Chain A
Amino acid sequence: MNPTQELISELATRYGHSREKLLPILQGVVEKEKFLSDYSMVEIARELDLPAAEVYGTATFYSFLEYKRMGTYIIRVCKTITCSMKGKNQILLTIKDMLKIGVGETTADRKFSLLETNCLGWCHKAPAMLINDEVYTELTPEKVREILSDYLKK
């Protein structure tokens, strides 16, 4: 078994093989491999005995289940109304300037991907962003530079 097959079989053993375990398994693969490759989706379908199209249809519905290769750190900047009013564009500009990538792109070393996302639920501390599961709020360009510098050292 290759590493992807091993991961999927391990996840299926942990959660179970029934249809309602599909989301936790997809999430488990994204957590480890950073995205769902066509190969991993076909393998999940095989493991759970589902049509591959069903797995693909479910996976592509959810914005946090990436099906394009992503960087180690996925930056999601909130673009919904309050964050947008409180300076989201400056935050995006700062990140683009530091990492030299646009929204939807990944750095050449595959360390960072930059995305916009809908309401993160931090409107009272806008603007906000997620880096993987970590939340950063009340952002300013200076604060973003500090945060990213720390990640660049990792």
Chain B
Amino acid sequence: MATTYNLKRADFIFRNENDWEKILNRTLQRDKQELINELISSELKGRGGAGFPTGLKWKLANEAHDKVKYVICNADEGEPGTFKDREILTKVPFKVLSAMAICGYIVGAKQGYIYLRGEYKFLKPELEKAIAEFAYYCKEINFDFSIDIFLGSGAYICGEETALFESMEGKRGEPRNKPPFPTNNGYMDKPTVINNVETLAHTFTIFKYGSKKFYDLGVQFSRGTKLFSVSGDTPKPGIYELELGMSLQDFVDEFGDGDTKAVQVGGASGFLVPRKKFSETAIGFKGKLTGISLPTGGSMMLFNSSRSMFNVLDNYLEFFREESCGQCTPCRVGCQQLLIGIKAVKQGTKPASYLDKLMKLTETMQLTAKCGLGQSVANSFSSIVENFREEMIY
């Protein structure tokens, strides 16, 4: 069944931020419950890729009983193929800072942090300047909220929210068991709202224009717009804001080079979609009625027919093997064995049927790994092996 939502461009995120003082001041005068309801009715879902409803997250943090709470902006953008958060922090930092402060007001937090990945350290001086200007304004309007930057040190796994807390607490970035969830036990065991950079920027849009404007964009279950990081074999690599819900075929028509063989949706932890499934695949959160629906943190990598899918999978698995934190066995050993396994099949020291054993291994990892990293290795592995099996063997 073909989905027929055309590709629709939008321009909210990078639209000027010069009115941030007005929007911030105006929003801080409004009732907290009313703001939470505004966010819930927008149906905004987390833009880091996991898609948790933002309004519900803020509501839960608001209801948590504690004097000390935190707001954290997750800028540990490490998923291969995504680079939108850096652009937001460079071009419209005040939207993110204002959104953090509004969140602080709603949930009752006085301290915010931006967890900035080490690879983006060069952003720090400009961002600090923006934070200083922001702090000055907060003081002027007598609003008590401060923001600091916490710098990461090159670990992909720290983008996982509980690993990020561990990292901020001065420990190895090893994910925690969930529950308890961050809205009750987050950073320093205190109630914490942790949102992706882009999610925060969208809340600014919602508080500025009202939830209806946002809700009217996109499709059912996938409301609003999303930034897409487009790379690979495309004549137009870059960052694009599009309404959610378009079909992958429309996307490829717009961004492909005419010879697109497959698209990786959602980075190394996402799914590879082959050409024959472009028209039945939609980009959005689960729950749509027609076809396959793939969520994404915005990473869209295009491959043309000159690319070997074996090399692609080999590259992903090496990435996961290095970035696995190593605390749980399914992920630590699984990633190693998958990499050894596909090489053995390719070299002919293992039969082609060994690929099926490896597929079983990814199923086990999906069921038993502690966090999203180990669980999602199965996504790219199975979608590549199923659709390009012959390329894995010959």
Contacts and interface: CB of A to CB of B under 8 A. Distances in A.
Interface string A88-128: 00000000000000000000000000000111111111100
A120 B316 CA distance: 14
Interface string B57-88: 00000000000000000000111111100100
Given A20-B170, A23-B170, A119 B80 contact: yes
Contacts of B170: 18-23, 58
Interface string A51-67: 00000011001111100
A81 B239 contact: no
B49 interface: no
Contacts of A6: none
B153 A64 contact: yes
B319 interface: yes
A135 interface: yes
B169 interface: yes
Secondary structure at chain B's binding surface: helix, strand, loop or mixed? mixed
A27 B153 contact: yes
Given A82-B232, A118-B322, A134 B83 contact: no
Contacts of A120: 119
Contact of A133 (B78, B121, B150, B239): B121
Given A20-B168, A20-B170, A63-B155, A124 B229 contact: yes
A23 B153 contact: yes
Interface string B182-205: 000000100000000000000000
A84 B310 CA distance: 13
B231 A126 contact: yes
Interface in A29-74: 57-58, 61-65
Interface string B249-277: 00000000000000010001000000000
Contact of B319 (A118, A121, A123): A118
Contact of B80 (A19, A82, A125): A82
B15 interface: no
A81 B155 contact: no
A87 B117 CA distance: 25
Contact of B77 (A18, A58, A121): A121
A119 B81 contact: yes
A123 B299 CA distance: 10
B171 interface: yes
B83 A121 contact: yes
B331 interface: no
Interface in B261-317: 264, 268, 301, 303, 307, 311-312, 315-316
B232 A80 contact: no
B232 A123 contact: yes
Interface in B354-380: none
Given A20-B168, A63-B154, A81-B316, A123 B231 contact: yes
Contacts of B238: 124
Given A27-B153, A124-B229, 5 more contacts: A80-B268, A81-B80, A84-B311, A85-B307, A119-B156
30 contacts: A19-B171, A20-B169, A20-B170, A22-B170, A23-B167, A24-B150, A62-B118, A62-B152, A64-B118, A64-B152, A64-B153, A65-B154, A79-B315, A80-B80, A81-B264, A82-B80, A82-B231, A82-B232, A119-B79, A119-B81, A121-B77, A121-B86, A121-B117, A123-B81, A123-B231, A123-B232, A124-B229, A124-B231, A133-B121, A133-B122
Interface of A: 18-24, 26-27, 57-58, 61-65, 79-82, 84-85, 117-126, 130, 133-135
Closest 4 CB pairs of A and B: A22-B170, A64-B154, A123-B231, A124-B237
Interface of B: 77-83, 86, 117-122, 150-156, 167-173, 188, 229-233, 237-239, 264, 268, 301, 303, 307, 311-312, 315-316, 319, 322-323, 325
